[in-house]
Amino acid sequence: MASPIMWLDKQSGDMPHMTGTLIRKNATQIVDLLKAGKVSPLELLDALEARIAEVDGQVNALPTLCFERARKHAKNLMKLPMAERGVLAGLPVPIKDLSDVEGVRSTQGSPIFTDFVPDVSDVMVRHLEGEGGVIYAKSNTPEFGAGANTFNEVFGKTLNPWNTSRSAAGSSGGAAAALASGTAWVAQGSDMGGSLRNPASFCGIVGMRPSPGRVAAAPGSEIGGILGASGPMARTVEDLAMLFDAMRGEEREDPISIPHDGVSYLEMARTGPRPKRVALSRDLGITPVDKEVAEIVMAAGRRFEEAGVEVVEAEPDLREAHECFQTLRALSFAIGMKPLLENHRDKLKPEVIWNIEKGLALSAEDVVKAEHQRAAMYQRMLEFFKTYDLLLAPATIVAAFPVEQRYVERCDGHEFSNYVEWLAIAYAITNVACPALSLPAGFTSENLPVGIQIIGPPRGDAQVITGAKLLEDILGLKGSTPIDPRIA
């Protein structure tokens, strides 16, 4: 077995010369090495621990580490024949600090749970470990995942590796910053109003919100809810597809989880059928978008034409998106967090209190209206995808904003009414249960990443991944990360 030191060489660009080439390799390459017996899970953990010590203090992506637990799990995994080590074969994976990991501090970014250590892992974590994932860290998140800027009273702010004065977005901001700064090869995240797609866009990596039910997770208080979804994050589309293969599958603890359909998303990324006709929209017809961001996304989307794909400027009718999502999100907060408001109001941030109270104030008529709106948009979306294979739009309406700013208050002359409204370009897609992926599309004049959102029809996860891989190859931005954090 090669020693980790044998993998060290001098790197160009931002990466310092003492950083191992292991950190720079794609996750699919790492798994190939694992399966060939050329590197062990323990050596990967050593490389990550060294990299975290080197750079994480500059971005605060992975505030909770569990290397002792990880090495124990890795050693047990190594006792198995290679064919029984799962899709990931010992690849280390960080878990967002909204999901419990047995024996590891799991705070949800809240002072209420500062010292909570669960006895049982979330079903998603158990599933991932069963496919050979080795959990070594918890990634930072806003309190209860609320708000697309990763800061909390327990661990503080997560900073964007491209410019440490800027936000990494959220709520999977810690995961995205870890990927961008080389302290993770892949990462788990979750998404309700863009919490996978926003940080992917801000940090120049790939993040996908799958179709509801593709990835089983503990339902909590809201059994059958489809607003939230756990999903994969990575530096490349192939790496993301491989992690998705390890994450997806049915678990009876999650009543909406979907049985494995036999499709390999990694194989689809490599050989799946190309889209023939895609729709491209600068704003989905529902939100302001920063002009520079819009132009970067529109230019990137048009490059599908280089592969013979027809690109048409069009968007579905999503006019009810704001009212519908705000109502259903508030209902979800009320269902899940009413006891926290009653017993720990003084420890909740104001945005969370506002969302819970908004939910508790809803009438039955409000909820009925929102469900009717969602059903109408869903039907229109199904009709839209009879004409187009994919829908392209910005993943976020701005590039990374100053980290001190709690949320985007205004854009292109429009002032938002609350801390969620600026996320409409993402949550409109959440409403209609479509899979969506953020892919690096280019950089602003300040060298900040911008993501293009690639949206597929309901259950069209494979179409999204195939289209994303095609556009990734055309744009040629793969390999932009990892980078050393860039101090403002």
What CA–CA distance (Å, rounded) separates 276 from 64? 45
What CA–CA distance (Å, rounded) separates 195 from 145? 8
Other beta carbons less than 10 A from residue 5's beta carbon: 9
Exposure string over 57-84, b if 16+ CB within 10 A, otherwise e:
ebbbbbbbbbbebbbebbeebeeeeeee
Rg value, the chain, Cα: 21
**Residue from 40, 99, 110, 195 carrying the catalytic annotation:** 195
8 A C-beta contact, residue 296 and residue 450: yes
Catalytic residue flag (residue 171): yes
Catalytic residue flag (residue 445): no
The 3-class SS string of 74-133 reads: HHHHHCCCHHHCCCCCCCEEEEECCCCCCCCCCCCCCHHHCCCCCCCCCHHHHHHHHCCC
Structure tokens at 400: 């990374």
**Residue from 139, 171, 181, 230 carrying the catalytic annotation:** 171
**Residue from 25, 96, 138, 349 carrying the catalytic annotation:** 96
Q: Give 300-306 contacts, CB < 8 A, sequence gap 24+.
A: 300/441, 300/442, 300/452, 300/471, 300/475, 301/392, 301/441, 301/452, 301/471, 303/471, 303/474, 303/475, 304/275, 304/278, 304/392, 304/470, 304/471, 304/474, 306/474
* Residue-by-residue DSSP string for 157-178: E-EETTEEEEE--SSSHHHHHH
Catalytic residue flag (residue 110): no
Residue tagged 């999903």 (tokens): 231
| Of residues 312, 308, 280, the one with CA closest to residue 296 | 280
Residues marked active site are found at 96, 171, 195
